[in-house]
Amino acid sequence: MFDNMNILITGGTGSFGHEFVHYTLNNYKPKRLVVFSRDEMKQWEMAKNFSGYKCLRFFIGDVREKERLNRALANIDYVVHAAATKIVPTAEYNPFECIKTNIIGAMNVIDAAIDCKVKKVVALSTDKASSPINLYGATKLASDKLFTASNAYTGEHGTQFSVVRYGNVVSSRGSVIPLFKEQRKKGVLTITDFEMTRFILSLDDAVKTVNFAFKNMVGAEIFVKKIPSIKIIDLAKCIAPSCQYKEIGIRPGEKLHEQLISKDEAYYTYEYESFYKILSPLYNWNTGSKRIGDGKRVPKDFFYTSDNNISWLKGPELKSWIDNIN
């Protein structure tokens, strides 16, 4: 799919970006793979880690700056939009900055992709965008709407835009696992709520989900991979079984349980073997066989939350899973 193609990833020096670049270089032969980000030091370190790949390029820029994006996206075929302000408390206390990156940045990526005649764009989203209660989730919901609706600007033969929505990525920046590993040195792990649950997946699965979207997208879909849930207290016990656990209360903007698909979205949601697809109702995009394929519409009262999931990781299985990805 990416052989002899020009690919760009925004926010490319983050955890997902590192894994995406590693996976792409090991499985495809792209003409160019461009890492677009605003941190020159992270780019310098990443360039050293991936030295020897002539196709790999680094481009300093910010998704808030449309002119820079227009320059970066020239002759690009595929774009992965991973740049975001994503730490929930940071977004709550810096709302203007979060909106500039997550909403204005999304608009700039869309405009630049259309102007530069990019073939396909996949934007990364989050479970926090479904019935959001925090600013990060609200901005990602707005971003999701922007990307799906933008297919109306390009028609059948222009740039295609789709979204991938998933839960907590293990060992990504901001993940609780590095925090727990640091806290176990002192013998006490802080848990916001002993009943808290989360969806969980590995960085490798996150990258494969994005690649799956590129291969199967028509445009205006939100792809939701079926992933397991965990209880945060179970995760803490796997990482530090001999430590004490202190309940400290939910932080501003946090949910007790996360949600990937709401009841309101169920009306436009179709189920497949390993994923769900939420289709935009604009222009009857949710009714055509081209997007639905062999999907089966979910019941009207369906919802997909981390506490009502049928797939769980716990005990030895969770510990083995964590050990295998670290």
Summarised one tens digit per residue, pLDDT across range 205-228 is: 999 999 999 999 999 999 999 999
pLDDT of residue 222: 98
Q: Pick the more confident residue, 22 or 323.
A: 22
> Cβ(20)–Cβ(207) under 8 Å?
yes
pLDDT of residue 174: 65
42 among known catalytic residues: no
pLDDT for 142 beyond 70: yes
Give the confidence band of 251 by pLDDT, cuts at 50, 70, 90: confident
Task: Label the pairing between strands 304-305 and 259-261.
Answer: antiparallel
pLDDT for 156 beyond 80: no
User: Could you give the domains of the chain?
Assistant: 6-166+202-226+259-303 (3.40.50.720)
pLDDT of residue 99: 98
Give the confidence band of 130 by pLDDT, cuts at 50, 70, 90: very high
Q: Which residues contact 147 (CB under 8 A, 6 or more apart)?
A: 81, 106, 110, 121, 123, 161, 162, 163
Summarised one tens digit per residue, pLDDT across range 75-118 is: 999 999 999 999 888 999 999 999 999 999 999 999 999 999 99
Continuous segment of H or E residues that includes residue 169: strand 168-169
Q: How far apart are CA 270 and CA 190, in angstroms?
A: 38
3-class secondary-structure state, position 215 = helix
Summarised one tens digit per residue, pLDDT across range 24-82 is: 999 999 999 999 999 999 999 999 999 989 999 999 999 999 999 999 999 999 999 99
Give the confidence band of 288 by pLDDT, cuts at 50, 70, 90: confident
pLDDT of residue 171: 67
pLDDT of residue 124: 98
What average pLDDT is seen over the chain?
Answer: 94
Dig out the tokens for 252 from the structure.
């501003």
Averaged pLDDT, 261-269:
96
Three-state helix/strand/coil letters over 109-132: HHHHHHHCCCCEEEEEEEHHHCCC
pLDDT of residue 170: 81
Q: How far apart are CA 22 and CA 18, in angstroms?
A: 6
> Cβ(67)–Cβ(46) under 8 Å?
no
Instruction: Say which of 86, 120, 128, 277 is annotated catalytic.
Output: 128
Q: How far apart are CA 100 and CA 65, in angstroms?
A: 10
pLDDT of residue 326: 60
Averaged pLDDT, 171-195:
87
pLDDT > 90 fraction of the chain, expressed in percent and rounded: 88
pLDDT for 306 beyond 70: yes
Tokens 């740039």 — which residue?
159
Q: How far apart are CA 129 and CA 264, in angstroms?
A: 13
Averaged pLDDT, 183-196:
95
